Homo-oligomer: A and B are copies of this chain.
């Protein structure tokens, strides 16, 4: 554990020696649970170290949980903690239902060594690590208040200014009071849903769509309706019929590099969607989380609409860091005002100032554009190479996306992708079966592949084997 290494770095070897001596006594049962440890003064005198060394050693052992301080009465050996507690943590539950939560929980909790063609993010080595470390070192020298205070309710002004400039590149002209920062992109979507939806409302998503939209909407207890997705956006005729018939309150979509298909909304469909939405007073969440992966900018609903009925959402989890959590919402200023209140009530304040400081530094440093240029080139090659290899296994991309890291594919052998994913997980490979993305459950022959997590030859062996077994 890194924290252990840190302890050794400070405080000197004497502290470590005292800690080892106590640990040995506990391990050898010379000291049992509940026993009082020698007083600081007496132990220091006995073994010939300074009292502060003993204090340091006791404090660290207490932080580890081996001993406990009782205020005013010294230190005692803690009750024994049974180690098997941690087992369920390391092994993700394999017996869970393959529902919209399945991919997220399996992929987030999987061991780092497990190949994850089913996951929705880039491997660490594809991320701008050097810029991140530089930003964190600078953070260590920031003002006290950045390190310890709550942030403002709308989030860092510096980062919001940088974001306005970036939105303007997509022709989304917003003012500073139309922009707020949130704890993550998902939290941004959730906040808007809390603001707009009541249990029982109808909400429209693409079919297929990002599986976590389904999980999120389930948490809001709304009626989820799917509209079939085509290579240039949702099926407009069906969209119009659904709006007229079901009167959904909200539509959630990705315009640029749609998840899971990698498709891009055409300008013509964007226009028709907005016209129909206006006729039925529909609000639209445009989740732009993959926008920066586009080689050339495609039209954004928020740009056409002028942030009137479109709420534009994004984050830095895919391009910069998913560990430093921060999302944003661009919307009508009066809605932002309400959303800020809602964020105060439910999170107390905006995102971590430590997080926004790191992100603002990386963005302001100017290396972000170069990083994204290189990333787009690498991804073009990776998509092409992986598509070729998949085709050799009878797995056909539904379309070749213009950018991003997903390939939405049909299993040409007629296999059921849920069965394939379950079998692959038995062999420690995480896949994303089609139906977790599908409201109508009509994607059982499909699978989403993340081309950046497909370098491991053993993973390909597993894939070949489970496909063959499922095809028989």
Contacts and interface: CB of A to CB of B under 8 A. Distances in A.
A294 to B, nearest CB: 9
Nearest to A101: B341
Contacts of A317: 150, 348
Interface stretch (A181-189, A237-245, A443-451): A181-189
B352 A352 contact: yes
Interface in A151-190: 151-154, 157-158, 161-162, 164-165, 168-169, 173, 175-177, 183-187, 190
Contact of A147 (B133, B138, B158, B364): B133
A104 interface: yes
A86 interface: yes
A147 B176 contact: no
A89 interface: yes
A70 B68 CA distance: 61
B59 A361 contact: no
A146 B340 CA distance: 29
Interface string A308-329: 0000000001001111110000
Given A212-B348, A354-B355, A358-B354, A165 B125 contact: no
A150 B150 CA distance: 23
Contact of A352 (B158, B173, B345, B355): B355
A198 B200 CA distance: 12
Interface centre among A122, A140, A150 (most CB of B within 10 A): A150
Given A169-B69, A346-B190, A347-B187, A6 B365 contact: yes
A2 B144 CA distance: 13
Contacts of A176: 85-86, 88-89
Interface centre among A173, A324, A370 (most CB of B within 10 A): A324
A132 interface: yes
A63 interface: yes
B133 A150 contact: no
A332 interface: no
A148 B364 contact: no
Interface in A373-404: none
Contacts of A348: 104, 184-186, 212, 317
Given A59-B366, A63-B368, A348-B212, A144 B158 contact: no
A65 B168 contact: yes
Interface string A85-99: 110110000000000
A354 B3 contact: no
A275 interface: no
Interface residues of A, number: 123
A146 B65 CA distance: 24
Contacts of A355: 325, 352, 354-355
Nearest to A132: B147
A199 interface: yes
Given A89-B176, A317-B150, A366 B296 contact: no
A341 B85 CA distance: 20
A82 B323 CA distance: 34
Contacts of A370: 55, 59
B346 A165 contact: no
Contact of A2 (B143, B168, B190): B143
A105 B320 CA distance: 30
B323 A360 contact: no
Given A63-B364, A184-B348, A88 B323 contact: no
A326 to B, nearest CB: 9
A63 B363 contact: yes
7 contacts: A79-B168, A121-B150, A136-B136, A190-B345, A216-B345, A323-B353, A324-B354
Given A6-B361, A136-B139, A183-B187, 8 more contacts: A55-B370, A64-B162, A65-B164, A124-B143, A127-B148, A132-B148, A324-B354, A325-B351
Interface of A: 1-3, 6-7, 10, 55-56, 59-60, 62-65, 68-69, 71-72, 78-79, 81-82, 85-86, 88-89, 100-101, 104-105, 108-109, 112, 121-122, 124-125, 127, 129, 132-134, 136-154, 157-158, 161-162, 164-165, 168-169, 173, 175-177, 183-187, 190, 194, 198-199, 212, 215-216, 218-219, 295-297, 317, 320-325, 340-342, 344-349, 351-355, 357-358, 360-361, 363-370
